[in-house]
Chains A and B, each alone.
Chain A
Amino acid sequence: MKFTWFHLMPWPHMPEDFRQKHRSVWVDLPNRMYEPELGHGIYHQYLDQLEYAEQVGFDGIGVNEHHANAYGLMPSPNIMAATLTRRTSKAALVVLGNSIALYNPPLRVAEEFAMLDVLSGGRLVAGFPVGTSMDTNYAYGTVPALTREKYAEAHELIRKAWAADEPFAFNGRYTKLRYVNCWPKPIQNPPPVFIPGGGSVETYDFCLDNTYSYSYLSYTGYMRARLLMEGYWKRVVEWQMDESPYRAGFAQVICVADTDAEAEKLYSEHVSYFYNRCLHVHPGFADAPGYRTIKTIQTGALSQFTSAGRDYPNMTWKDLTENRYVVAGSPETVRQQMEEMIKTLRVGNVFCLLHLGDMPDEKVRHSTKLFAEKVMPHLRNLWPEWQNHDDRFWIHPMNERVNLKAAAE
Chain B
Amino acid sequence: MKKRLLKMKALGGQIEVAEAGKGRDLLFLHGAGGHMPNDPLLAELASKYHVMAPLLPGYGRSTGEDGLRDMLDVTLHALDVMEALKLMKPIVAGHSMGGMIAAEMAAIAHTEIDKLCLLAPAGLWIDEQPVVDIFSKLPFELPPLLFHDVEAGQKLMTAGGGNMEDPEFLKQFLVMRARQLGMAGKILFPVPDRGVAQRLYRITAKTLIVWGAEDALIPVAYGAAFRKAISGSKLVKVPRAGHAVGQEKPAAVLKAIREFF
Interface residues of A, Cβ cutoff 8 Å to B: 27, 137-138, 141, 143-146, 173, 282-285, 288-290, 292, 294, 297-298, 300, 302-303
Contact = CB atoms under 8 A, between A and B. Distances in A.
B84 interface: no
Interface stretch (B181-189, B220-228, B230-238): B181-189
Contacts of B178: 289-290, 292, 294, 297
A288 B167 CA distance: 20
The SS class assigned to the A binding surface is helix
Given A282-B136, A284-B136, A300-B171, 10 more contacts: A27-B136, A137-B135, A143-B189, A144-B189, A290-B182, A290-B189, A292-B178, A297-B171, A297-B178, A303-B171
Given A289-B180, A300-B171, A146 B190 contact: no
A138 B190 contact: yes
A69 to B, nearest CB: 15
A289 B179 CA distance: 8
A265 B183 CA distance: 51
A306 to B, nearest CB: 11
Contacts of B9: none
9 contacts: A138-B136, A145-B182, A284-B137, A284-B141, A288-B135, A288-B136, A289-B181, A290-B181, A300-B167
Given A285-B136, A303-B167, A290 B175 contact: no
A150 to B, nearest CB: 10
Contact of A288 (B69, B138, B179, B189): B189
B136 to A, nearest CB: 4
A141 B191 CA distance: 8
Contacts of B175: 294, 297-298
A141 B185 CA distance: 11
Contact of B190 (A137, A173, A292, A298): A137
B138 A289 contact: no
A284 B138 contact: yes
A282 to B, nearest CB: 7
Contacts of B189: 137, 141, 143-144, 288, 290
Contacts of B182: 144-145, 289-290
B185 A298 contact: no
Q: How large is the interface on B (under 10, 10 to 19, 20 to 34, 35 or more residues)?
A: 20 to 34
Most chain B beta carbons < 10 A, residue from A143, A300, A302: A143
B174 interface: yes
Contacts of A283: 138
Most chain A beta carbons < 10 A, residue from B167, B171, B180: B171
Contacts of A298: 171, 175
Contacts of A145: 65, 182-183, 185-186
A144 B167 contact: no
Contacts of B138: 283-284
Nearest to A139: B190
Most chain B beta carbons < 10 A, residue from A138, A284, A285, A289: A289
A27 B136 CA distance: 11
Contacts of A292: 178
The 4 A-B residue pairs whose C-beta atoms are closest, nearest first, are A290-B182, A289-B181, A145-B182, A284-B136
Contact of A141 (B137, B179, B190): B190
A384 B138 CA distance: 49
Interface string B107-141: 00000000000000000000000000001111001
Contact of A294 (B137, B167, B179): B179
Contacts of B181: 144, 289-290
B174 A144 contact: no
A181 B190 CA distance: 32
A146 B136 contact: no
Contacts of B190: 137-138, 141, 143
B170 interface: yes
Nearest to A295: B175
Nearest to B170: A303
Contacts of A303: 167, 170-171
B109 to A, nearest CB: 25
Contacts of B167: 300, 303
B249 interface: no
B48 interface: no
Nearest to A293: B178
B185 A289 contact: yes
B176 to A, nearest CB: 10
A302 B191 CA distance: 27
A335 B136 CA distance: 42
Contacts of B89: none
A308 to B, nearest CB: 11
Contacts of A285: 136
Nearest to A300: B171
Contacts of B179: 294
B185 A144 contact: yes
A294 B180 CA distance: 11
B177 interface: yes
A305 to B, nearest CB: 13
Contacts of A138: 136, 190
A287 to B, nearest CB: 9
Nearest to A27: B136
A123 to B, nearest CB: 37
Contacts of A289: 135, 177-178, 180-182, 185
